[in-house]
């Protein structure tokens, strides 16, 4: 029997972002102050989102996401 890992595609990532930010707009992170934004990015990375997904879905630069 083959084990199937949960699908972690961009739709899944959008839902995780929506739940953790408690907002419909994924780009709301851009309006946060640096400390709040970085804390939110760390939490989203801990939830399993990739840097690529965060960059694509939030519009935040890869370098900012990596440093968070």
State the pTM of this model. Answer: 0.81
Instruction: Tell me whether residue 35 is in a domain.
Output: yes
Instruction: Tell me whether residue 30 is in a domain.
Output: yes
What domain count does the chain have?
1
The pLDDT value recorded for residue 37 is: 94
pLDDT at position 34 over 70 = yes
Which range marks the domain in which residue 43 is found?
A: 10-67
pLDDT at position 1 over 80 = no
Phi, psi dihedrals of residue 54, rounded to the nearest 5°: -60, -40
Instruction: State pLDDT tens for residues 44-58.
Output: 999 999 999 999 999
Instruction: Tell me whether residue 1 is in a domain.
Output: no
pLDDT at position 22 over 90 = no
Give the DSSP letter string of the chain.
----PPP--HHHHHHHHHHHHTSS-GGGGGGS-HHHHHHHHHHHHHTT--HHHHHHHH---HHHHHH-
Local confidence band at 20 (pLDDT 50, 70, 90 cut-offs): confident
């Amino acid at each position: 029997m083959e084990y199937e890992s949960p699908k972690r595609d961009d739709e899944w990532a959008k839902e995780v972002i929506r739940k953790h930010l408690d907002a419909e707009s994924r780009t709301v992170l851009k309006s946060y102050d640096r400390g709040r934004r970085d804390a939110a990015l760390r939490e989203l990375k801990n939830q399993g989102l990739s840097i690529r997904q965060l960059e694509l879905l939030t519009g935040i630069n890869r370098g900012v996401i990596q440093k968070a």
